[in-house]
Amino acid sequence: MNLDLTEEHELVRRTVREFATERVAPVAAELDRDGRFPYELVAELADLGLMGMPIPEEYGGGGTDTLAYAIAIEELTRVDSSVAITVAAHTSLGTMPIFLFGSEEQKREWLPSLASGERLAAFGLTEPGAGSDAGATRTRAELRDGSWIVNGAKIFITNAGTDISACVTITALTGDGEISNLIVPNDAPGYEISAPMHKLGWRASDTRELSFRDCAVPEGNLLGPRGEGFKQFLEILDGGRISVAAMGVGLAQGAYDLAFAYAKEREQFGRPIASFQAIQFRLADMATEIEAGRALVYKAAWLKDQGRPFAKEAAMAKLYTGELSHRVANWALQIHGGYGYMDESAISRLYRDQKILEIGEGTNEVQRMVIAKHLGL
Ligand SMILES: Cc1cc2nc3c(=O)[nH]c(=O)nc-3n(C[C@H](O)[C@H](O)[C@H](O)COP(=O)(O)OP(=O)(O)OC[C@H]3O[C@@H](n4cnc5c(N)ncnc54)[C@H](O)[C@@H]3O)c2cc1C
């Protein structure tokens, strides 16, 4: 057993940490305050080859393993969750379905511009009436004269409405109890995208409601065999959970770093608050839990890279890091006292950005359901 990261993985960490510190950190608060999508940063991430890391080079991606990708997402989230989720949703949810289930023709059509980061892709699974029960999709697609005619709605969809969004892969009923995935191009007639939704956190990321009114999608945009949509989206979610779990570790690490620095600098009762044992114990607990969470995430990524089953470990990593980031963000803000509650303090943004990590890509309860199923319950 060797727990050392390879030189390549260390290089990914150093590169992304440098980018996050030098390019993202100075603008993160402003992007959050203005709810402005980070187009300039996405272009820079694309130049660095970070918008399609696990997609093979022949399709314009970085050809890295899942572990390298998880490390990159962790490092971005340490500084800013909006930028991190933009990359993670684009890669794991938007691009991956086309790579995993697309025909060679579909891959050649879509992947080069997506994996290079020139365009963005989204995954539209959630509906107003189908959240945790994602299979309860009501959106319908009917084959008529060589086109899928789509009617229905999706909600809370990441990356669907930016100026550079190319497409959304949606789940739709193509028959009774038959779910299929369809790639809907952003310019499809009858496809309407709402204004950006207002959120507690992830304010610089793009979240939209989508509606389809007799929306015509070319017949050839069916992804994989008809009726495979349910199986496909479960597989997509399994992989996506590793990146959201990496966000949990990254957010917790960022919150810890802020709390550590503040505790050393802030003086009360004539000495730095870091000299009080109560604060030291909090920081010790935080550091310990972060280490445990990181080990879970890297193990899930490693299993995936070995081609071994990883769904249970991905759900465990997502569950644990979701709850861990909650505890750590809360303690980190507590260590900041009243200053942490002010908008201008970075910890308040991390605190707001944290909550969604226990909801998106399957709630904590859904992760427990997935884990229990794998345990044979
Ligand atoms: C900012 C943001 C971005 C998102 N991005 C995307 C995206 O890009 N694509 C996409 O498809 N979706 C996206 N989502 C949707 C997200 O995945 C869903 O919000 C999530 O799956 C939960 O569904 P819901 O909100 O309908 O909650 P519900 O399913 O209504 O759940 C409400 C509560 O009930 C609990 N619950 C439900 N069923 C059970 C049960 N059987 N046992 C116990 N408890 C249960 C839940 O755990 C939760 O606490 C995003 C959401 C947000 C907020």
Q: What is the pLDDT of residues 134-186, one digit of tens each?
A: 999 999 999 999 999 999 999 999 999 999 999 999 999 999 999 999 999 99
Rounded distance, CA 244 to CA 296, Å? 12
pLDDT, average across residues 23-46: 98
377 pLDDT band, cuts 50/70/90, is very high
Distance 290 CA to ligand 1 centre (A): 25
Query: Counting beta carbons within 10 angstroms of the beta carbon of residue 197, is it exposed (0 to 12), middle (13 to 18) or buried (19 or more)?
Result: middle
**Mean of the per-residue pLDDT values of the chain:** 98
Which pLDDT does position 256 carry in this prediction?
99
Ligand 1 site residues, Cβ closer than 6 angstroms: 89, 93, 122-126, 131-132, 156-158, 199, 202, 207, 356, 359-363, 365-366
Token pair recorded at residue 364: 């904590």
Q: CA nearest 253: which of 292, 224, 220?
A: 292
Distance 118 CA to ligand 1 centre (A): 29
50 pLDDT band, cuts 50/70/90, is very high
Q: CA nearest 329: which of 201, 169, 146?
A: 201
pLDDT digits (tens, 9 = 90+) for 52-107: 999 999 999 999 999 999 999 999 999 999 999 999 999 999 999 999 999 999 99
pLDDT digits (tens, 9 = 90+) for 274-295: 999 999 999 999 999 999 999 9
Q: CA nearest 78: which of 349, 272, 292, 334?
A: 349
- For residue 4, give Cα distances in angstroms to 63, 213, 250, 263, 288: 21, 53, 19, 30, 18
**Cα angle, residue 268 at apex, residues 265 and 273 outer, rounded to 5°:** 50
Q: CA nearest 51: which of 8, 19, 5, 6?
A: 19
- Shortest-distance Cα residue to atom 52 of ligand 1: 156
Catalytically annotated residues: 361
Rounded distance, CA 208 to CA 159, Å? 8
Pairing of strands 165-175, 120-124: parallel
pLDDT, average across residues 312-337: 98
Which pLDDT does position 46 carry in this prediction?
98
- For residue 96, give Cα distances in angstroms to 40, 237, 352: 23, 10, 28
**Cα angle, residue 64 at apex, residues 61 and 67 outer, rounded to 5°:** 135
Q: CA nearest 99: which of 51, 52, 132?
A: 52
Residue 368's Cα: distance from chain center in Å?
19
pLDDT digits (tens, 9 = 90+) for 172-224: 999 999 999 999 999 999 999 999 999 999 999 999 999 999 999 999 999 99
Closest ligand 1 atom number to CA of residue 197:
1
Q: CA nearest 121: which of 173, 157, 78, 148?
A: 157
For 300, residues 6+ apart whose C-beta sits below 8 A from its C-beta are: 241, 242, 245, 310, 313, 314, 316, 317
- Shortest-distance Cα residue to atom 44 of ligand 1: 365
Distance 366 CA to ligand 1 centre (A): 9
Q: What is the CA radius of gyration of the chain?
A: 21
Token pair recorded at residue 168: 């959304």
Distance 249 CA to ligand 1 centre (A): 21
Rounded distance, CA 191 to CA 189, Å? 6
Which pLDDT does position 223 carry in this prediction?
98
Which pLDDT does position 233 carry in this prediction?
96
Q: Does pTM top 0.85 for this prediction?
A: yes
pLDDT, average across residues 213-238: 97
The neighbour count for residue 216, using CB atoms within 10 Å, is 18
Pairing of strands 191-193, 140-144: unpaired
